[in-house]
Amino acid sequence: MKVCIPIEENKGLDSVAHNHFGSAPFFLIYDVDKEEMKVIENGDLNHSHGMCQPLKAIGGERVDAILVGGIGAGALTKLNNQGIRVYKVANDTVLNNIKMLKDNKLGEFTINNSCNHHNCNH
C-alpha cells in the first residue's frame, strides 16, 4: 500500500503532517510494504479556492490513501472517485501516523467532516 502525507517541511519520517491537503508545500509518498519513501513538491500549490486538482498536486503518483489534517470536499470527492481513501491524522510525525493507520486508529474523512475553507483547523 502506498500512502501520501502532506508535509510542511521535509524531515523524512520525522516530518509532521500538514493541516490541509491543498496548501501543503510537499507530499511524502511512503510505500508501506517496501518501507520506501520519497518527497515531491506540491504540483498544484497555487490553485484557486475550491479548484484543487489532487492528482496534479501529487504529480500523478499512484497512492492508495492520503493521511492529512484537513481536506476540502472537492478534493476529497476527486480522490475518493479514484479509489483513494483519505484519513484524518493526529498532530504527530509521519511515522507515528503510518503506525496508527496500520493499527486502524485513524478515522476516514467523509463529505460531512471535510473542510469548507482553506484555513480550516481540525
Domains annotated on the chain, with CATH: 2-113 (3.30.420.130)
CA triplet 112, 117, 122: central angle to 5 degrees? Answer: 60
For the chain, the straight-line distance linking the first and the last C-alpha, in angstroms and rounded, comes to: 26
Query: CA-CA distance, 104 to 37, in Å (whole number)?
Result: 21
Return the C-alpha cell found at 102: 496500520
% of the chain beyond a pLDDT of 90: 49
For the chain, what is the mean pLDDT? 84
pTM (2 d.p.): 0.83
Q: Give me the pLDDT at residue 33, please.
A: 95
Residues 6+ apart with CB under 8 A from 57: 21, 22, 27, 42, 43, 44, 45
Q: Which three cell numbers stand for residue 6?
A: 502532506
Residue 50 — pLDDT band, cuts 50, 70, 90? low
Q: What is the pLDDT of residues 79-117, one digit of tens each?
A: 899 999 999 998 899 999 999 999 999 999 987 777 654
Helix ranges (DSSP H) in the chain: 54-57, 73-81, 94-102
pLDDT beyond 80 at 54: no
